[in-house]
């Protein structure tokens, strides 16, 4: 069950401390502007603003959520995702900040899988495994973006066609990802794809969250609830062992609100293998299109709350274990564990695990998933 939340609405802005903001002219719901170039391709930054002044800035390079400004309990806006001030910094310094990851988000063991009796070889860009689509995944292409107003709020539709053999994956894959900043203060992400050959597919968004505001020192003080009673244990290379194990009695149990850093230093094999939390939490064993509530993240200092709902069967919880202090927006250092990820997905290494939810997409089928990040404060 979700905890009670306070939803921001225009009528309640004064009570939420928005008196001064109401005196300012409303930003246009949609704005698109140049954001530099990548490999000779122009990049556009699209700004979506809803009626309550929440604002998402998303670029068509990698479908990256560059910033997302949401209010605290006093109505003060802060940017809650890690990122950079210029597009040029992303290929140089980003650790998948805010991007669409694909074709296959997360890891595939040893960069190999078989499909219909044929073996495919992928890059091992996270030795000894394949990670997030390979050397040049979906996060490194300029997608075709179309900003539009919808009944739910301002939106950005991104389209990309991945050719047959791209990074070793079979089939020409036509992808569409739509971000909507809803009037109910949610960032909704709808994924859709079709293929002309059997292939495997697992798309997600890789935003790094700090509800105190990006550049804040830690997320170890955030409270997290993950409503899953099982997870997939990993080996020392972060590949699932094939087991689906109970979280009960382990430091991976977040079924009740728990401070992120409360048990991260415990002497537990899974925390050593992941160098902290970097684990897949299991909700169901099939992609059935049904929306479920997965997680709630709360920052006690600001009062900001983020709820995560998805049609996906699992969610990856990652505590920024490899953040190393490199500077982000405004020259702020992004320190070790100063942000976390909650990536909705199918299970890691599913192409090699028949007992896991199938990641196979065939001609005539349509891949469709939805994830919704809803923001409130109290």
| 201 in Cβ contact with 103 (< 8 Å) | yes
| 187 in Cβ contact with 65 (< 8 Å) | yes
The pLDDT value given to residue 26: 72
Spell out, as residue ranges, where the chain has pLDDT lower than 70: 1-25
Residues 6+ apart with CB under 8 A from 214: 67, 78, 79, 80, 81, 82, 83, 208, 328, 329, 332, 334, 339
Closest CA to 48 of 245, 168, 187: 187
Whether 343 sits among the annotated catalytic residues: the reply is yes
Q: Distances in Å between the alpha carbon of 176 and those of 53, 89, 143, 145?
A: 26, 25, 9, 10
Say how far apart CA 161 and CA 260 lie, in whole Å: 38
Whether 206 sits among the annotated catalytic residues: the reply is yes
The pLDDT value given to residue 18: 36
**At the top level of CATH, which class does the domain 10-377 belong to?**
mainly beta
The pLDDT value given to residue 6: 36
Evaluate the omega torsion of the peptide bond into residue 304 and state whether it is cis, within 30 degrees of 0: no
| 258 in Cβ contact with 224 (< 8 Å) | yes
The pLDDT value given to residue 52: 95
Evaluate the omega torsion of the peptide bond into residue 160 and state whether it is cis, within 30 degrees of 0: no
What are the residue boundaries of the structural domains of the chain, listed by start?
10-377
Say how far apart CA 348 and CA 204 lie, in whole Å: 12
The pLDDT value given to residue 24: 59
Residues 6+ apart with CB under 8 A from 323: 95, 208, 334, 335, 336, 337, 338, 339
Q: What phi and psi values does residue 167 have, to the nearest 5 degrees?
A: 55, 25
In this structure, the number of other CB atoms found within 10 A of the CB of residue 278 comes to 22
Paired sense of beta strands 130-131 and 107-108, if any:
antiparallel
Say how far apart CA 100 and CA 122 lie, in whole Å: 19
The encoded tokens of residue 57 equal 């800035």
Residue of 206, 214, 223, 279 marked active site: 206
The pLDDT value given to residue 193: 98
Query: What's the pTM?
Result: 0.93
The pLDDT value given to residue 115: 98
């Amino acid at each position: 069950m979700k905890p009670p939340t306070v939803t921001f609405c225009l009528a309640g802005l004064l009570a939420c401390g928005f008196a001064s903001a109401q005196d300012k002219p409303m930003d246009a719901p949609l704005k698109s502007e140049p954001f530099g170039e990548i490999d000779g391709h122009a990049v556009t930054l699209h700004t979506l603003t809803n009626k309550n002044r929440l604002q998402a800035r998303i670029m068509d390079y990698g479908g990256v959520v560059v910033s997302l400004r949401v209010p605290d309990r006093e109505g003060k806006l802060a940017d809650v995702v890690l990122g950079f001030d210029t597009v040029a910094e992303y290929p140089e310094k980003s650790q998948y900040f805010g991007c669409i990851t694909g074709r296959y988000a997360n890891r595939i063991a040893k960069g190999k899988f078989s499909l219909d009796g044929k073996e495919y070889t992928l890059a091992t860009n996270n030795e000894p495994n394949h990670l997030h689509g390979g050397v040049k995944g979906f996060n490194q292409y300029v997608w075709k973006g179309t900003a539009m107003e919808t009944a739910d709020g301002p939106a950005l539709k991104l389209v990309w066609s991945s050719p047959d053999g791209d990074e070793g994956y079979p089939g020409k894959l036509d992808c569409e990802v739509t971000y909507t900043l809803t009037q109910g203060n949610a960032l909704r992400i709808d994924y859709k794809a079709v293929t002309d050959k059997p292939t495997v597919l697992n798309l997600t968004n890789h935003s790094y969250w700090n509800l105190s505001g990006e550049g804040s020192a830690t997320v170890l003080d955030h409270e997290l609830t993950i409503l899953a009673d099982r997870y997939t244990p990993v080996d020392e290379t972060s590949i699932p062992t094939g087991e689906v194990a109970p979280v009960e009695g382990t430091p991976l149990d977040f079924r009740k609100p728990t401070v992120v850093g409360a048990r991260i230093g415990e002497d537990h094999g899974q925390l050593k293998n992941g160098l902290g939390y970097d684990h897949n939490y299991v909700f169901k064993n099939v992609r059935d299109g049904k929306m479920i509530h997965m997680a709630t993240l709360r920052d006690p200092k600001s009062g900001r709350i983020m709820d995560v709902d998805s049609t996906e069967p699992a969610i990856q919880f990652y505590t920024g274990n490899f953040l190393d202090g490199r500077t982000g927006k405004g020259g702020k250092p992004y320190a070790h564990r100063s942000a976390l990820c909650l990536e909705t997905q199918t299970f890691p290494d599913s192409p090699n695990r028949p007992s896991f939810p199938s990641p196979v997409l065939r001609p005539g089928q349509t891949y469709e998933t939805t994830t919704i990040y809803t923001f409130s404060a109290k």
